[in-house]
Amino acid sequence: MASVQDCLKCGVLLIVLSCAQGCGQSVPKGALALSPESLQDRQMQTRVFSTTDEAMLQTACAALLQDLGYQLDESETELGVIVASRHRDVTNTGEVVAAVFVAAMFGVHTAYSREQKVLASVVTRPIGDERVAVRVIFQHMVWNTDNQLVRNEQINDAEIYQEFFSKLSKSVFLEAEGI
């Protein structure tokens, strides 16, 4: 039985393919192919919990993200989706000095990194009758002093994901034990 999330993914894919075909364009060969790292990334980002209580897992994920300093931006429990973010100033003294030097020497404005937003997206989905998969993806975006997005990439540090799931496992255990 397909989940709502799987149906949504298929629907989006059909719309994209229909638009591409309707515009007289063909989908480039390999455009929908997954990279060789995709399976590794998915394994790093996903853990399966032996429980039927998906709502409890979602609550634990939301609480953990808040404990880690994230603000909950969106939550759709019916679909098993949580999106959270945290902001921080990433102004680097070296970049500022270089920008001032370039401006003084050449009269040219040079932007430097100013703000970073770390985004965490969590998706839960039941697997069979007795397990729930939790997938989290961390991403960071950096804006410069001209408010231009200069970096937008997925975080692929295995330690970050291991730490998240270790803390989540402890939280789930404590919740199950009523502690």
One domain for residues 108 and 25:
no
Please give the single-letter amino acid code of residue 124: T
One domain for residues 15 and 88:
no
One domain for residues 173 and 101:
yes
Q: What is the CATH number of the domain that holds 119?
A: 3.30.310.80
Number of domains, the chain:
2
One domain for residues 26 and 114:
no
One domain for residues 140 and 80:
yes
pLDDT in tens, 94-133: 888 888 888 888 888 888 888 999 999 999 999 988 999 9
What separation in angstroms does the CA of 18 have from each of 6, 33, 37, 97?
18, 18, 28, 51
Mean pLDDT of the 74-101 span: 90
CA dist 136 and 119 (Å) reads 10
What range does the domain containing 41 cover?
Answer: 34-177
Contacts (Cβ under 8 Å, ≥6 apart) of 62 = 72, 75, 82, 84
One domain for residues 7 and 88:
no
Mean pLDDT of the 50-55 span: 92
pLDDT in tens, 11-41: 555 555 555 555 556 667 776 777 778 888 8
Mean pLDDT of the chain: 85
Interhelix angle 158-177/38-45, nearest 10 degrees: 30
The residue length of the chain stands at 179
Question: What's the CA dihedral at 108, 109, 112, 114 to 10 degrees?
Answer: 170
One domain for residues 41 and 82:
yes
Map 72-101 to HEC letters.
Answer: EEEEECCCCEEEEEEEEECCCHHHHHHHHH
One domain for residues 8 and 94:
no
What separation in angstroms does the CA of 35 have from each of 40, 153, 162?
10, 15, 22
One domain for residues 40 and 17:
no
One domain for residues 27 and 39:
no
Q: What is the pTM of this model?
A: 0.75
One domain for residues 66 and 145:
yes
One domain for residues 2 and 83:
no
